[in-house]
Amino acid sequence: MSQEQIKFAYWVPNVSGGLVVSKIEQRTSWNIDYNRKLAQTAEKAGFEYALSQIRFTAGYGAEFQHESVAISHALLAATDKLRVIAAILPGPWNPVVLAKQIATIDHLTNGRVAVNIVSGWFRGEFQAIGEPWLEHDERYRRSEEFIEVLKGIWTTDNFSYQGDFYRIHNYSLKPKPLQQAPHPEIFQGGSSRAARDMASRVSDWYFTNGNTVEGIQAQVDDIRAKAAANGHSVKVGVNAFIIARDTEEEARAVLAEIIEKADPEAVNAFGHEVKQAGKASPEGEGNWAKSTFEDLVQYNDGFKTNLIGTPQQIAERIVALKAVGVDLILSGFLHFQEEVAYFGDKVLPLVRELERELEAEPVPLKLAA
């Protein structure tokens, strides 16, 4: 188990409609004032990262969307320590433009920006913006080239690259990003075979949808073994929709209400679209390949991680995830502002306490189921 403290990120609500596809009340907003205040609250609460989303058109709702790089910069400008991860879709983005854009933001924000390279699942969106749609594994082949180019430009002068998707000739980016150890962090979203193989070669971080501890462990073991064989190391972040309440009954009642008020039309439409993701991979695995209707109500399978209950139960489950090799919890909340603050007050101190206990006495903890 890592000696480092487990890290916390939250989903930036830069698209409208909240993180669950349900008519339940969600006290959240996609507007910039709300997002600035949320970033400041999260920073104070002990969150290290914020992850923006990239969306060009409505999908599971998400009718309005702020662009990810621009909003990431705004949140960095409103905070002091928080690291903000901008979501990027190869295709619409060109890696040279992105390398330059992120290098500048890195200088403007004292080296706190990162990127999440997502390979896409939403064919209708690509069509809407006139972007050619590649088959599943081809999308990852392009993403891998994209990351190689990004790293090359960020770290070397006179960089050249001859790929199937990108060609660069003797290019020197000036200035390079401020972060030179070795460059701004590169996250990736996606967990099919192709996604894992890419992570085991080039990404700094592998982000996966929500899952059980066993499901996550299988992915961690697989990806770390492959990365070791490639002489690469990769950290792992897991999505979770967190419902922390003073009693377990209250938390379970909130989940039941979310599901009961789910918008079946929107959930089923989303379930149809995501067949372009994991299920469309040659092995038929990856994100959403086995998701049920209930899972899809949180559009990154966040209920499956089961961080739903009392602060103590949630803290114990987080430490159980750490014990199987998870480095970061990517969290979503119903009433964002107030629940991020509650998490910082009630859950995070318990996680740190359990981590200290484990470090002092590394015997298996009795963990909540």
Ligand X SMILES: Cc1cc2nc3c(=O)[nH]c(=O)nc-3n(C[C@H](O)[C@H](O)[C@H](O)COP(=O)(O)O)c2cc1C
Please state, in angstroms and rounded to a whole number, the distance separating the CA atoms of residues 144 and 96: 14
Q: How far is the CB of 137 from ligand X (least distance, A)?
A: 9
Q: Which CB sits closer to ligand X, 133 or 171? A: 133
Cβ atoms within 10 Å of 321's Cβ, excluding its own: 26
Q: How far is the CB of 363 from ligand X (least distance, A)?
A: 33
CA 87 to chain centroid, in Å, comes to 9
The pattern of x and - marking residues 311 through 340 that bind ligand X according to CB under 6 A reads: -------------------x----------
Residues between 166 and 205 that touch ligand X (CB under 6 A): 189-192, 195
The pattern of x and - marking residues 213 through 252 that bind ligand X according to CB under 6 A reads: --------------------------x-------------
Q: Determine the interface stretch with ligand X among 41-49, 52-60, 252-260, 265-273 (rule: CB under 6 A).
A: 52-60
- SS3 at position 133: coil
Considering the rule CB under 6 A, would residue 281 count as an interface residue with ligand X? yes
- Residue from 207, 241, 299, 342 that binds ligand X (CB under 6 A)? 207
Q: How far is the CB of 364 from ligand X (least distance, A)?
A: 29
Helix (H) or strand (E) holding 339: helix 336-342
22, 31, 59, 66, 121 from 98: Cα distances, Å: 35, 24, 25, 17, 21
Q: Determine the interface stretch with ligand X among 50-58, 169-177, 223-231, 349-357 (rule: CB under 6 A).
A: 50-58
Residues between 93 and 152 that touch ligand X (CB under 6 A): 116, 118-122
Please state, in angstroms and rounded to a whole number, the distance separating the CA atoms of residues 191 and 118: 11
**Nearest Cα to Cα of residue 172 among 111, 96, 91:** 96
- Residue from 177, 286, 302, 311 that binds ligand X (CB under 6 A)? 286
Beta strands 159-162; 167-171: pairing state: antiparallel
Q: How far is the CB of 360 from ligand X (least distance, A)?
A: 33
Burial readout 21-58 (b: 16 or more C-beta within 10 A, e: otherwise) = bbebebebbbeeeebbebbebbbebbbbbbbbbbbeeb
- Residue from 39, 69, 75, 87 that binds ligand X (CB under 6 A)? 87
Cβ atoms within 10 Å of 250's Cβ, excluding its own: 13
Considering the rule CB under 6 A, would residue 14 count as an interface residue with ligand X? no
Chain residues that interact with ligand X, rule: CB under 6 A: 53-55, 87, 116, 118-122, 189-192, 195, 207-209, 239, 277-278, 281, 286-287, 300, 330
